[in-house]
Amino acid sequence: MNMTYKTLKIEIADNIALLTANRPEAMNALNALFFEEFNKVLDDLEKNDALRALIITGSGKAFVAGADISEMSGMNCDQGKAFSETGQQAFARLSTLSIPVIAAVNGFALGGGCELALACDIRIAGSYAKFGQPEVNLGLIPGYCGTQRLPRLIGLSNALYLLLTADMIDAEEAYRLGLVQKVFPADTLIDETKKIAIKIASKGKIAVSKAKEATIKGMQMDLQQASKLEADYFGNLFGNGESGEGMKAFLEKRKPNW
């Protein structure tokens, strides 16, 4: 995998990838180069069949503090729409990876940074993490699907409160709202997040992938359609060696040999 990115760092160990937004001088603000490099990283990750999980974090005191306003300030309507679509497409790719994606939110996750976290499957926060969608302060709205993902995660009124007030919330409030699943001390955040990724990686790889896929697809269906989808996926898993090994290991009271 190409390791020489200007806005990102990627490390892979034990089949778990750690992707770090790496523009600390700009609080990891998202610009056109970030999205170009982000898509290249996703190209590589999608080809890595051994990969079991992806963790995303930021360097310095920010996860990602938003989109790069200096790059946005001169845009016209068409350019603004294109910049929105670029981010939406990149984050949609992220959200549909077959492996679990975990955000390790180490600091400020504002604007586009909050939207990056929203596109992940699970959000783990350091104790100093801050979340917010401050776009209305700039006369804008979120452009990377924040108006759509946020209410689906925390409910319509909670989302509208954050979107319309532009309030910034801390990790504990984000946990209370269900925006994050765990909060850890800042100095243990990455280690604790890796433990979660390792725990997931110890399960059946195909089952984890299909559980994610069925859940996300089912959320876009009514309950009857989603239940049928689940039954189809459940049945299909009996046709591979992974489920056979998993059930055999359970009956033999041993760990499965995936």
pLDDT digits (tens, 9 = 90+) for 172-195: 999 999 999 999 999 999 999 999
pLDDT mean over 83-110: 97
Residue 135 a catalytic site member: yes
pLDDT of residue 244: 87
pLDDT digits (tens, 9 = 90+) for 122-169: 999 999 999 999 999 999 999 999 999 999 999 999 999 999 999 999
pLDDT digits (tens, 9 = 90+) for 28-48: 999 999 999 999 999 999 999
Structure tokens at 41: 């990283």
Q: Where in the chain is the domain with CATH 3.90.226.10?
A: 8-201
Residue 252 a catalytic site member: no
**pLDDT band at 241, cuts 50/70/90?**
confident
Structure tokens at 67: 């989109």
User: Alpha helices of 96-222 — where are they, by DSSP H?
Assistant: 112-118, 146-154, 156-165, 171-177, 189-201, 205-218
CATH number, span 205-251:
1.10.12.10
Q: Which of 46, 115, 192, 242 is catalytic?
A: 115
Contact 166, 107 (CB under 8 A): no
Using CA of residue 64, residue 35, residue 67, residue 7, what is the dihedral sign?
A: positive
Q: Where in the chain is the domain with CATH 1.10.12.10?
A: 205-251
Which amino acid is it at 114? C
Q: Which of 25, 46, 71, 135 is catalytic?
A: 135
CATH number, span 8-201:
3.90.226.10
Q: Is the pTM of this model over 0.75?
A: yes
pLDDT of residue 3: 62
Q: How far apart (Å, rounded) are the C-alpha atoms in residues 64 and 106?
A: 9
